[in-house]
Amino acid sequence: MEKAKTVLLICSAGITTGLLVKNMKDAAKHRDLDIHIYSAPAITAEDVLKRQEIDALLIGPQSEYEMTRLKDFLEYNKVPYRLIDKESYGLLDGERVLGQALQLMEK
């Protein structure tokens, strides 16, 4: 049996991302997908990535600078990542952001 995929969302403070995670979990449940989705403050991202296998990393639009900081680490460890688009993030569109995560994991 294939193990559940893990999706990590990071942003500056985590409040909006926490709400988005809930909506993504609801969307995953609706699709009957076995995915572990959670969020962490951007400042702890590297530690989390060292301790846990992450199948997709999504970055809040206000934390775009984190992509530059983490780029070499993410590429070396082959962690697929992308910036969450501002519209989906602003609307807390769990379905659309879940779709972005699934696309990343297919690559």
Greater confidence (45 vs 97) lies with: 97
Domains of the chain: total: 1
Q: What are phi and psi of 84, to 5 degrees?
A: -75, 130
Out of 10, 11, 21, 97, pick the active-site residue.
11
CATH number of the domain at 53, please: 3.40.50.2300
- Per the annotation, the verdict on 74 as an active-site residue is no
CB 95 within 8 A of CB 27: yes
Cα gap 37→34, rounded to integer Å: 10
- Per-residue pLDDT tens over the stretch 80-106: 999 999 999 999 999 999 999 999 999
* pLDDT of 15 above 90: no
- Name the residue range of residue 32's domain: 5-106
DSSP state of 82: E
Mean pLDDT of the 48-76 span: 92
